[in-house]
């Protein structure tokens, strides 16, 4: 990735003052290690009349993959290959924006003890980026930069100069020129808008990105005509963060209009009067949904398949409707924890007769599991290697064949809403895959058709209008039509 910043000057105000402002000496070529490669700073030209600073970022694709290590959804080989073979080393992106921030951190803040008057004054600036992804084309580039005082030239890069009929790529050669901006303002514009134009970030966007955006956007973002697009793309379309950024930007705008401080406006409620209730944990919502489905089914004898540490088994045991509960797990350690949770060693004889914990693998048929009214697979299927799923399906739906089967699993689409989950990662290190809503419904429909069940679907947790709920649930019941034919 390559970017140059040029300025002009006179003998009295030499262009080489750019070196002071950037805190990088024009006579030196310097290299800086980054988490994804090496950033080089050098000056192709440096005299009193004209000075150009160049930032060259060499991407180490292996380091890029290692920094983002973790299984993607399904860990598909083509997705893994894409981490190594892509356009990131050549086209400006969030990688370059981060390098810009790291290498020119003082310049971004407008700090220059040696030339403070130059740091605070506008400069004749020329910025060039030879390869810039522009999702939205040259017109969007102009809409983003022109309102900030730049003269914008964005020339589309053809897909192949030898085949002009193929048309243009999504890349542009960018030239920005201005005499109205300080160097710090220019760098802040680039820091925000490079990843916005690429419409992607190489790292997980968490809550602190809002603060970064507002710091870099101070003085220009609140009044930008494309503020909504900028905040949405910069924050990777994470609606909660985008909403938070827009609310804070609106406060800035109102404060500027009222010639007051933001704190003076945003003071309607004192911090200590905060009374908002904490949201119910997803695990609790999931158990409530499962218990509701089992209650509707009329089941009395229930299998908790993949019972883990026994949370659901414990909840079932508290309800007198369930006369027999069997928790099954392949992990002896999990069963030991479940036994302690249930206090089996201190349980009364009558209560102990209702519950049993057994070790077993769900990908093998097991005579002990036949004849039950209902079975629950809560957050289990995603832990099974995809080639072994058919074995689990047969063991549960074909061999054990309870009248009702309840299955819950994460909704992969909702992962973008988890602020603490790195991009491209699944929710648990042992998850072999995570399904989208469409994939889950397709799987459930195929299983129901194959084994004579009917499937109904339920959303668990807040149902986001864009990405759905965090957990998806299917309740399978033996088809009355198939049952009548069998009879």
State the Cα–Cα distance between residues 140 and 116, nearest whole angstrom: 34
DSSP state of 411: B
Biggest alpha carbon distance in the chain?
101
Q: Extract the tokens encoding 333.
A: 């350690």
Alpha helix ranges (H) inside 17-93? 17-22, 61-67, 77-84
DSSP state of 464: B
State the Cα–Cα distance between residues 50 and 38, nearest whole angstrom: 27
State the Cα–Cα distance between residues 234 and 206, nearest whole angstrom: 11
- Please report which helix (H) or strand (E) contains residue 456, including its range: strand 453-460
Q: What is the pLDDT of residue 264?
A: 52
Main-chain dihedrals φ then ψ at residue 121, nearest 5 degrees? -105, 150
Q: What is the pLDDT of residue 469?
A: 94
Structural contact between residues 320 and 300, judged by C-beta atoms closer than 8 angstroms: no
Closest by alpha carbon to 156, among 165, 148, 146, 167? 167
State the Cα–Cα distance between residues 295 and 190, nearest whole angstrom: 58
Structural contact between residues 461 and 470, judged by C-beta atoms closer than 8 angstroms: yes
Task: Give whole-number Cα distances, 410 to 135, 414, 419, 433, in Å.
Answer: 31, 8, 16, 10
- Please report which helix (H) or strand (E) contains residue 126, including its range: strand 123-133
For the chain, 487 residues long, give each residue's pLDDT as a single digit of tens: 899 999 999 999 999 999 999 999 999 999 998 777 899 999 999 999 999 999 999 887 776 666 554 434 333 334 445 555 666 567 778 888 888 988 999 999 999 999 999 999 999 999 999 999 998 899 999 999 999 999 999 999 998 889 989 999 889 999 999 999 999 999 999 999 999 998 877 666 777 888 899 999 988 998 899 999 999 999 888 888 888 888 887 776 665 555 555 455 444 444 444 445 567 888 999 999 999 999 999 999 999 999 999 999 999 999 999 999 999 999 988 999 999 999 998 888 889 999 999 999 999 999 999 999 999 999 999 999 999 999 999 999 999 999 999 999 999 999 888 766 676 678 888 899 999 999 999 999 999 999 999 999 999 999 988 899 999 999 999 987 666 554 4
Task: Give whole-number Cα distances, 289 to 32, 279, 284, 453, 479, in Å.
Answer: 53, 16, 9, 20, 22
Structural contact between residues 39 and 100, judged by C-beta atoms closer than 8 angstroms: no
Closest by alpha carbon to 334, among 359, 304, 309, 361? 309
Q: Extract the tokens encoding 217.
A: 């956007």
Ordered DSSP codes for 153-171 = EEEEEES-TT-GGG-EEEE
Main-chain dihedrals φ then ψ at residue 127, nearest 5 degrees? -115, 135
Q: What is the pLDDT of residue 241?
A: 85
Coil, strand or helix at 200: coil
Q: Write the CB contacts of 79 (distance below 8 Å, at least 6 apart in sequence).
A: 72
- Is the whole-model pTM more than 0.85? no
Across the strands, what pairs with 42? 54
Closest by alpha carbon to 20, among 127, 117, 122, 112? 112
- Please report which helix (H) or strand (E) contains residue 30, including its range: strand 30-34
Q: What is the pLDDT of residue 67?
A: 55
Main-chain dihedrals φ then ψ at residue 448, nearest 5 degrees? -60, -45
Q: What is the pLDDT of residue 77?
A: 39
First to last CA, the chain: 70
Coil, strand or helix at 355: strand
Burial class (CB in 10 A: 0-12, 13-18, 19+), 274: exposed
Main-chain dihedrals φ then ψ at residue 390, nearest 5 degrees? -55, -35
Alpha helix ranges (H) inside 259-320? 262-265, 282-297, 311-317
State the Cα–Cα distance between residues 186 and 55, nearest whole angstrom: 15
* Strand order across the 301-305 sheet: 355-359, 324-329, 301-305, 374-378, 404-410, 471-478, 453-460
53 — alpha (psi -120 to 50), left (phi > 0) or beta? Answer: beta
């Amino acid at each position: 990735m390559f970017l140059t910043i040029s300025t002009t000057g006179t003998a009295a105000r030499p262009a080489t003052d750019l070196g002071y402002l950037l805190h990088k000496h024009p006579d030196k070529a310097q290299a800086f290690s980054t988490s994804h490669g090496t950033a080089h700073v050098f000056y192709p030209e440096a005299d009193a009349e004209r000075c150009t600073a160049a930032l060259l970022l060499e991407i180490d694709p292996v380091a890029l993959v290692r920094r983002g290590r973790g299984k993607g959804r399904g860990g598909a080989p083509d997705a893994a290959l894409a981490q190594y073979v892509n356009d990131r080393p050549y086209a400006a992106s969030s990688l370059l924006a981060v390098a810009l921030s790291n290498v020119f951190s003082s310049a971004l803040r407008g700090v220059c003890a040696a030339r403070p008057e130059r740091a605070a004054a506008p400069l004749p600036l020329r910025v060039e980026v030879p390869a810039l992804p522009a999702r939205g084309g040259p017109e969007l580039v102009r809409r983003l930069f022109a309102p900030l005082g730049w003269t914008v030239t964005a020339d589309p890069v053809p897909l192949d100069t030898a085949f002009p009929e193929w048309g243009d790529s999504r890349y542009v050669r960018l030239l920005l020129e201005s005499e109205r901006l300080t160097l710090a303002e220019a760098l802040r514009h680039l820091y925000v808008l490079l990843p916005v134009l690429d419409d992607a970030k190489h790292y997980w966007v968490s809550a602190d990105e809002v603060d970064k955006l507002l710091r870099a956007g101070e003085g220009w973002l609140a009044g930008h005509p494309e503020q909504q697009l900028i905040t949405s793309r910069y924050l990777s379309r994470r609606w909660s963060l985008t909403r938070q950024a827009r609310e804070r930007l609106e406060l800035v705008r109102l404060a500027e209009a009222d010639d007051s401080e933001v704190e003076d406006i945003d003071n309607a409620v004192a911090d200590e009067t905060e009374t908002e209730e904490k949201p119910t944990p997803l695990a609790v919502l999931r158990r409530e949904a499962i218990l509701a489905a089992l209650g509707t089914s009329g089941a009395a004898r229930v299998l908790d398949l993949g019972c883990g540490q026994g949370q659901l088994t414990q909840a079932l045991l508290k309800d007198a409707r369930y006369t027999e509960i069997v928790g099954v797990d392949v992990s002896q350690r999990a069963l030991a924890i479940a036994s302690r949770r249930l206090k089996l060693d201190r349980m009364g004889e009558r209560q102990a007769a209702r519950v049993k914990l057994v070790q077993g693998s769900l990908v093998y048929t097991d005579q002990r599991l036949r004849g039950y009214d209902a079975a629950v697979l809560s957050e289990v299927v995603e832990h099974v290697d995809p080639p072994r799923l058919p074995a689990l399906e047969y063991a549960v739906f074909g061999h054990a064949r309870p009248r009702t089967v309840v299955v819950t699993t994460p909704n992969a689409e909702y992962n973008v809403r988890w602020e603490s989950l790195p991009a491209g990662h699944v929710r648990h290190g042992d998850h072999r895959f995570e399904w989208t809503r469409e994939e889950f419904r397709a799987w459930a429909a195929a299983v129901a058709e194959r084994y004579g069940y009917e499937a109904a679907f339920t959303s668990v947790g807040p149902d986001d209008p864009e990405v759905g709920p965090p957990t998806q649930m299917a309740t399978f019941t033996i088809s009355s039509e198939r049952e009548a034919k069998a009879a």
